[in-house]
């Protein structure tokens, strides 16, 4: 069963998918949005990916504040979750994404990726970290 992981931002959505065994997450792409309020093309592309990879579940990064409260970005993410559920009919699991973007940026820095190139990939890598965190949690829970 493949799972899709999403890092939902104001201008982009990072996308990752799991392998068929649900063990590893691989970064797939970044869906770029024309404006924050226009989601139709973004949702259509996510539906295409779900269909192409036969995904059965969605893991959506949940941007809580560091003090565990919900801010404006978290509220928009919850609205996006509802849209995804309506359009795909799939279960959407909210996954705490605090510090995933920081970790993604640090990983690229350590790998020697130049600063100007990091921005191109940070959301895709963050989506991979979100999905991998969920996959690791499920594996640990099942053992």
Element containing residue 61 per DSSP (H, E):
strand 55-62
CA distance 129 to 87: 25
- Map out the domains of the chain with their CATH numbers: 2-142 (3.30.420.140)
Percent of all residues in the chain with a pLDDT value above 90, rounded to a whole number: 57
pLDDT tens digits for range 3-42: 999 999 888 999 999 999 999 999 999 999 888 778 999 9
Sign of the torsion angle spanned by Cα atoms 100, 11, 108, 56: positive
The answer to whether the predicted template modeling score (pTM) of the entire model surpasses 0.85 is yes
At 102, the pLDDT band (50, 70, 90 cuts) reads low
The mean pLDDT of the chain is 88
């Amino acid at each position: 069963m493949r799972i899709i992981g999403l890092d939902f931002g104001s201008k982009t959505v990072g996308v990752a998918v799991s392998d068929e065994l649900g063990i590893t997450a691989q970064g797939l792409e970044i869906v770029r949005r024309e404006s924050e309020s226009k989601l139709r093309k973004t949702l259509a592309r996510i539906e295409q990916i779900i269909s192409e990879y036969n995904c059965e579940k969605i893991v959506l990064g949940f941007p809580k504040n560091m003090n565990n409260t919900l801010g404006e970005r978290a509220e928009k993410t919850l609205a996006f979750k509802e849209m995804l559920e309506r359009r795909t009919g799939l279960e959407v699991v909210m996954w705490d994404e605090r510090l995933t973007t920081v970790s993604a940026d640090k990983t690229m820095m350590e790998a020697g990726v130049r600063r100007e190139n990091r921005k191109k990939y940070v959301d895709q890598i963050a989506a991979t970290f979100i999905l991998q965190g969920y996959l690791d949690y499920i594996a640990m829970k099942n053992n």
